Amino acid sequence: MSEEGTGTDGDATGAEDDPDWEMAPDSDVEFPPDDEKRELLRAVAEDVRGDSSESRQVAAILYRVSDLYDPDEDTSPEEIYLNVRHIMDIKAQGGIDR
């Protein structure tokens, strides 16, 4: 897998040069604001959040996906995917302070 940088706000960048992103051909799909979907995803995130790092990670992913339906947020499936992949890569390497 290729390395991508992170922007100043912590989001993964460099997706356009990353062949792994080609696995998601619907990257141009629009996500219109949807309060019901957003709140459902956030409620599920609260339900799964627990004490383990894994449950906190899943909750964070769900919350980030809910941002797709929030008109005040600026994100894309590509950004979410790359951010999650970056986090999983760090975890697989033993953590950020390895």
Q: Residue holding tokens 């799964």?
A: 48
Strands, E assignment, 1-98: none
Going residue by residue through the chain (98 aa), what tens digit of pLDDT does each one get?
444 444 444 444 454 565 565 555 556 778 999 999 999 999 999 999 999 988 998 999 999 999 999 999 999 988 998 888 988 888 888 887 75
pLDDT of residue 9: 44
Which among 81, 87, 77 has a CA at the least distance from the CA of 53? 87
Which among 75, 92, 13, 2 has a CA at the least distance from the CA of 41? 75
C-alpha 29/C-alpha 75 separation (Å) is 12
C-alpha 73/C-alpha 88 separation (Å) is 23
User: What's the sign of the alpha-carbon dihedral 29, 9, 65, 74?
Assistant: negative
List the structure tokens of 49: 């959040």
